[in-house]
Chain A
């Protein structure tokens, strides 16, 4: 099992460009999450999904959109990138059937917006 994978690993964008980050998991998890991690800020939840076709806003959703068309994939889109979106992005997934919400994380995507 690959677990949670993210593509790309690194990306540099210019202000105003758009891009999509892909998260894939092969654990048949219902829940998927997108976080961003900035120095001194910990992990902040951007959007999450509790099942295929459903998404919800997290703590810092502005400037991002998501889609969960397939259970195993969760896409994070930036329509018009801004320097404030320079960060490391982590995807995570967890099982609805677990007794507690242990989230499994992908390796992260380092995004720089110039």
Chain B
């Protein structure tokens, strides 16, 4: 059975701290891994990663995939209270019936002032 596991499940830090969120996966026909940020409502897209191993960056956020370890990390430096959210990892597979995403349970990040 396909599986996506995120750790930690929740995390509380203070503003200015650096955090690392983890995502590991066991899926067949891996195509890509996506990170989403979910605040109060709908998840919004952050990054897409492939087996190429290229790091993606956007401001204080960065992410990379380790194809050997079948995992990815999402780093947030100099955290701010606005980074408080649930961070979701999802793995895309190629299937004959249409591409689907398998989501992890998410990491709930709380950044205290």
Chain A: residues with CB nearer than 8 A to chain B? 4, 31, 33, 35, 40-45, 48, 50, 56, 58, 90, 94, 100-108
| Number of residue pairs spanning A and B whose beta carbons lie under 8 angstroms apart | 60
The interface-forming segment of B41-49, B59-67, B68-76 is B41-49
Q: Which size bracket describes the interface of B in this complex?
A: 20 to 34
CB proximity of B31 to chain A, nearest CB, Å: 7
Please state if B98 and A105 are interface contacts (CB–CB under 8 Å).
Answer: no
Please state if A101 and B101 are interface contacts (CB–CB under 8 Å).
Answer: yes
Interface residues of chain B: helix, strand, loop or mixed (majority): strand
When A40-B9, A42-B88 are in contact, do A50 and B42 touch as well, CB less than 8 Å?
no
Please state if A90 and B92 are interface contacts (CB–CB under 8 Å).
Answer: no
Chain B: residues with CB nearer than 8 A to chain A? 6, 9, 31-32, 34, 41-45, 48, 50, 88, 90, 92, 97-106
Please state if B43 and A105 are interface contacts (CB–CB under 8 Å).
Answer: yes
Please state if B99 and A43 are interface contacts (CB–CB under 8 Å).
Answer: no
Please state if A100 and B9 are interface contacts (CB–CB under 8 Å).
Answer: no
For B31, the closest partner residue in chain A by CB is: A100
For B41, the closest partner residue in chain A by CB is: A107
| Chain B residues, CB < 8 A from A33 | 100-101
A and B contact pairs by CB, cutoff 8 A, 8 listed: A35-B103, A42-B104, A90-B43, A100-B48, A101-B92, A103-B45, A105-B43, A105-B44
